Amino acid sequence: MKVELRIKRFDPEKDQKPRWADYQVEVEPTDRLLDALHYVKWYQDGSLTFRRSCAHGICGSDCMLINGVNRLACKVLVKDLGRRITVEPMRGYPVVKDLVVDMEKFFAAYRAVKPYLINDEPAGPRERLQSPAERERYDDTTKCILCGACTTSCPSFWANDDYIGPAAIVQAHRFIFDSRDRGAAERLEVLNQREGVWRCRTIFNCTDACPRDIEVTRAIQEVKRAILFQRI
Amino acid sequence: MTERVYAGRPRPGNNFELYSWFFMRISGLLLILLVIGHMVIMHIINNVDVIDYDFVAARWASIGWRAYDWLLLFLALLHGANGVRVVIDDYVRRKGWKVFTVAVLYTFTFILLILGSLVIITFEPIGMGS
């Protein structure tokens, strides 16, 4: 099966602004888009630049705008994309080169919500036990792989990149609702700012974009409610 | 470094955005009930052609209906204005423009609220039953 890849490319050393480049690639219908990108890079144009690590939908490196929606290149099959496939970098972060964006601000937001267990109580002789129900409470948000699909699909984030973004809120949710954690108050403090959860307009793009099927908008709403019940 | 963008950002130190969000939910729910009530009374039970000055004067003889209409005015105006504030916050990025548009919005809302309240509170029927 022959497909045409239309890739938005940008070389900061040569290009003033991004340009489109077309590539004809011979693929199997069950190949992933990542395989097609590899084919271009390995056999047609070695300068094509994109991120990927595990290539199996776990590391979250190869999120890009595929046919206009955020997807992991390693998780979509070419047969589901049509004969003419457009590939662009994620929206909202500065493009470093081709499909690679500068995610420094993404991880700054991630660090701001203190994404680690906070509990200063003495550990005791055993593990900190948790019932299955308590574990279930935040199960959905443990699935996040920090690919950036949700944050870079969010119109509120496009409008204002100071917005902490759905991904950081998902990470905060994972700890706020963990029965072993004691840091909820300080995380909610960060998220109660103007650029915290209140920039969310419940557009649901994040939920649509998540390659891990996390109900991102629901998680954000749960955090809003947690702030509400904490303050009132 | 970049963490400071979030960690060291000046904190508003209040819960304004929280209350604004909560107000939108509560006022939205109330508005659904109030607006349906208003529609039923003004457009289903009574036809528009029977609604005239006397009709409104008779209705406003009761303090309850004045309160109803004032609540409708208050909630609809603030709900709408707060929505526009949020839209301005999202889309007007230049500081000067933001201050200007928000000032216009607040002034306009305030004038409408005062005018409407004035009418509802000070209304006195004249020439009833003519």
| Domain positions in chain A | 2-101, 104-229
Question: CB under 8 Å to B18, separation ≥6 — which residues?
Answer: A192, A198, A227, A228, A231
Q: Which domain holds residue B57?
A: 3-122
Which among B5, B22, B86 is the nearest to A108, CB-wise? Answer: B5
For residue B46, which amino acid is it? N
DSSP state of B82: H
Retrieve residue B109's tokens. Answer: 């809302």
Retrieve residue A149's tokens. Answer: 């699909």
CA A4/CA B126 separation, integer angstroms: 78
- pLDDT tens by residue, A189-229: 999 998 999 999 999 999 999 999 999 999 999 999 999 99
Q: Could you tell me which residues are beta bridge partners of residue A95?
A: A101
Choose from B2, B4, B5, B6 for mutation: most chain A CBs within 10 A. B6
H helix or E strand, kind and range, residue A190: helix A184-191
CA A135/CA A138 separation, integer angstroms: 6
Angle (nearest 5°) at CA A80 between A55 and A39: 45
Q: Is pLDDT above 50 for B1?
A: no
Assigned domain for B93 exists? yes
Q: Is pLDDT above 70 for A118?
A: yes
- pLDDT tens by residue, A5-48: 999 999 999 999 999 999 999 999 999 999 999 999 999 999 99
- Give the strand pairing for A63-66 and A100-101: unpaired
Report phi then psi at A70, rounded to 5: -75, 120
- The alpha carbon dihedral of A184, A185, A186, A190 has a sign of positive
Report the CATH number at residue B28.
Answer: 1.20.1300.10
- pLDDT tens by residue, A105-117: 999 999 999 999 9
Mean pLDDT across A128-135: 95
Percent of chain A residues topping a pLDDT of 90: 96
- If you classify domain A104-229 with CATH, what class do you get? mainly alpha
Let me know: does A32 contact A22? Beta carbons within 8 Å. Answer: no
Q: Is pLDDT above 60 for B109?
A: yes
Choose from A158, A228, A230 for mutation: most chain B CBs within 10 A. A228
Assigned domain for B45 exists? yes
First to last CA, chain B: 76
CA B73/CA B80 separation, integer angstroms: 11
Which among B5, B9, B21 is the nearest to A198, CB-wise? Answer: B21
- pLDDT tens by residue, A61-88: 999 999 999 999 999 999 999 999 999 9
Q: What pLDDT does A232 receive? A: 73
- pLDDT tens by residue, A137-186: 999 999 999 999 999 999 999 999 999 999 999 999 999 999 999 999 99
Q: What pLDDT does B91 receive? A: 87
The nearest CA of chain B is from the CA of A3 a distance in Å of: 39
Q: Could you tell me which residues are beta bridge partners of residue A7?
A: A21, A87
Please, what is the angle between helix A184-191 and helix A166-176, to 10°?
Answer: 160
Cβ contact B18–A227 (<8 Å): yes
Assigned domain for B10 exists? yes
Cβ contact B17–A162 (<8 Å): no
- Give the strand pairing for A63-66 and A84-88: antiparallel
Assigned domain for B127 exists? no
Cβ contact A109–B90 (<8 Å): no
Mean pLDDT across B71-75: 97
CATH of domain A2-101: 3.10.20.30
CA B88/CA B111 separation, integer angstroms: 20
Within 8 A of A221 by CB-CB distance, chain B residues are: none
